[in-house]
Chains A and B, each alone.
Chain A
Amino acid sequence: DGGITQSPKYLFRKEGQNVTLSCEQNLNHDAMYWYRQDPGQGLRLIYYSQIVNDFQKGDIAEGYSVSREKKESFPLTVTSAQKNPTAFYLCATGTGMNTIYFGEGSWLTVV
């Protein structure tokens, strides 16, 4: 919702480059998530963090990395090891009761 800010909105990556997507929240939510969305594939979990300085792999973590040094921030790095990174990336936050709220999303394209 309004308290989750993702940037940039659009990002172009060259082959072999690492890129970092930013996600900041001011909702004071403990949990933060990164999802990837491809056409017809729904939403797939990349990484999640339930608390500062701790994070866990989701279903499609290969080729991605994250950090959670602050409660408000959960950046996602798409590394060169991710061979098909073109997708819509959604950051989300949660209160711990399963309900999650999404940011506006970031479009990543490989050029």
Chain B
Amino acid sequence: GENVEQHPSTLSVQEGDSAVIKCTYSDSASNYFPWYKQELGKRPQLIIDIRSNVGEKKDQRIAVTLNKTAKHFSLHITETQPEDSAVYFCAAADSNGGSQGNLIFGKGTKLSVKP
């Protein structure tokens, strides 16, 4: 089955700097890659996702890149702000259905943005 590795487990940056979180996956059939942000004590919320027919997707200060050959994808946050501090989870799934269609999550990255 799918296995998703996420690095680093913790990341500390200065306000205004960029942050990059990387994930690798094992199942070449996976074709959907979302990122979730979870603030302390709250539910994970979808912030951006990408499907395998594109290599990059941007939404304001957030971008995700996908390299299907290498089986890795990354979250990029530019001009970080203190409110970006949270745990970020990557996930992967095969959208062609069945049990393989379920999301498999990485273990999370705790991002701290220092003012």
Contacts and interface: CB of A to CB of B under 8 A. Distances in A.
Interface of A: 33, 40-45, 48, 56, 58, 90, 97-105
9 closest pairs, A vs B, by CB? A42-B107, A102-B43, A43-B105, A98-B32, A98-B93, A42-B105, A98-B95, A102-B44, A42-B108
Contacts of B105: 42-44
A100 B43 contact: no
**Most chain-A Cβ atoms within 10 A of its Cβ — which of B36, B45, B46, B102?**
B102
Contacts of B55: none
Contacts of B44: 43, 90, 102
Contacts of A98: 32, 34, 93, 95, 101, 103
Interface in B57-113: 89, 93, 95, 99, 101-103, 105-108
The DSSP consensus for interface residues of chain B is mixed
A90 B38 CA distance: 12
Interface of B: 6, 9, 32, 34, 36, 42-46, 49, 89, 93, 95, 99, 101-103, 105-108
Contacts of B89: 42-43
B66 to A, nearest CB: 15
Contacts of A33: 102
Contact of B102 (A41, A45, A103): A45
Contact of B49 (A41, A99, A103, A105): A99
Contact of A58 (B93, B101, B102): B102
Contacts of B108: 40, 42
Contacts of A97: 32, 95
Contacts of A101: 46
A104 B42 contact: yes
B78 to A, nearest CB: 24
A42 B32 contact: no
Contacts of B107: 40-42
